[in-house]
Amino acid sequence: MSKLRFMTAGESHGSTLTAILEGIPAGVKINLELINNDLARRQQGYGRGGRMKIERDKVEIVSGVRFSETIGSPITLLVKNRDWENWQEKMSAFGEPFGEKVTAVRPGHADLTGIIKYNRRDARDILERSSARETTMRVAVGGICKEYLKAHKISIESKIIKIGGVENTSETGISEEIKMKIDEAKSKGDTLGGIFEIIVHGVPVGLGSHIQWDRRLDAKIAMAMMSIQAVKGVEIGAGFDCGNLFGSQVHDEIFYNAEEDKIYRKTNRAGGIEGGMSNGEDIIVRAVMKPIPTLMTPLKTIDISTKNSVLASKERSDTCAVEAAAVVGEAMMSFVIAQAMIEKFGEDFVNEEM
């Protein structure tokens, strides 16, 4: 069992979202403001919907931290849903069912498959948990992991590469051309996806292993990124371009600097990982997010109660959430790298001699 693990709980319109993170060493300084800043970043971005105007996510840490420092025990994190007051009857844990059922299942969403798998009659039983609202707690967990990594001089950043087929030319945020594309989609009641990139600086050599399939760092990163709602593909370094190039154009040549007694590479097409292990270069990962499946101009579907052809149900939704997905990508990457660091160095307290 991994020394670092987490679990989230809660529904999109429930009273709270929670997470438990176990395995963070003692002695990590926690800056709550930085974690809340990441939560705010997850709610921002061009093309976000009305829900983001209601919620102002702030995390509460109710265990595992004392006087702004981790103490080695499980860390419990909690975010309250401000919209709960409007959903108490519809989402009540007990009592009689209240409100209309959601039966016009949405193409591309978990609705229909989840209903069949769990033998439900109301898609709300599925959509409340499958919602990307769950990533709120992943970002909070990632914030703790970032603080641990910071103690080891490892940092993580993200940027938007493309949205709706338009290359992002902005150094910060997204370009005006992309904003116009998002506005166009919104005017049509449609949605857009895109590609984001995660970069990790300062990773030591040797995280992960080539020994077994489930210890490979690239495999763990791919799983973490693919677990983010609506992500449909992941590449590391040169990624899918490797299939179009000669080996001489893909592999990073290795050099030695005698003066500095340092082995180095001039390129990083491997994206910082070779043989399932970090090689000391920046880890570079890209993920593609599909357009959100809740459309304001709904697609055709069936009503599961009547089997009649209808238009899909409309939940409050975003036109584009690629910028938010990038923040979640940072969080999941932070967890994977922190997990690999703890597995390799086995710290009980931060900066224990390695």
pTM above 0.75? yes
| Second CATH level (architecture) for the domain 5-237+272-345 | 4-Layer Sandwich (3.60)
Do residues 16 and 81 lie in contact, with contact meaning Cβ atoms separated by under 8 Å?
yes
Do residues 292 and 230 lie in contact, with contact meaning Cβ atoms separated by under 8 Å?
yes
49 — pLDDT class (breaks 50, 70, 90): confident
| Distances, alpha carbon 287 to alpha carbons 18, 221, 224, 326, 343, in Å | 26, 11, 11, 9, 25
Q: What is the pLDDT of residues 285-297, one digit of tens each?
A: 999 999 999 999 9
Give me the amino acid identity at 107.
P
Mean pLDDT over 128-139 rounds to: 96
Q: What is the DSSP letter of 254?
A: E
What is the pLDDT, as a whole number, of residue 317? 79
For residue 148, pLDDT beyond 80: yes
What is the pLDDT, as a whole number, of residue 314? 84
What is the pLDDT, as a whole number, of residue 98? 87
Q: What is the pLDDT of residues 216-263, one digit of tens each?
A: 999 999 999 999 999 999 999 999 999 999 999 999 999 999 999 999
50 — pLDDT class (breaks 50, 70, 90): low
What is the pLDDT, as a whole number, of residue 54? 63
Mean pLDDT over 302-311 rounds to: 96
Share of the chain above pLDDT 90, in %: 90
Mean pLDDT over 66-95 rounds to: 94
Give me the amino acid identity at 219.
A
Count the alpha carbons within 13 Å of 228 in the hemisphere toward its beta carbon.
33
Domain spans, the chain:
5-237+272-345
For residue 103, pLDDT beyond 80: yes
Contacts of 189 (CB under 8 A, 6+ apart): 295, 296, 297
SS3 content of the chain, % helix, strand, coil (to 5): 30, 25, 45
What is the pLDDT, as a whole number, of residue 52? 56
- What sign does the CA torsion over 205, 210, 212, 215 have? positive
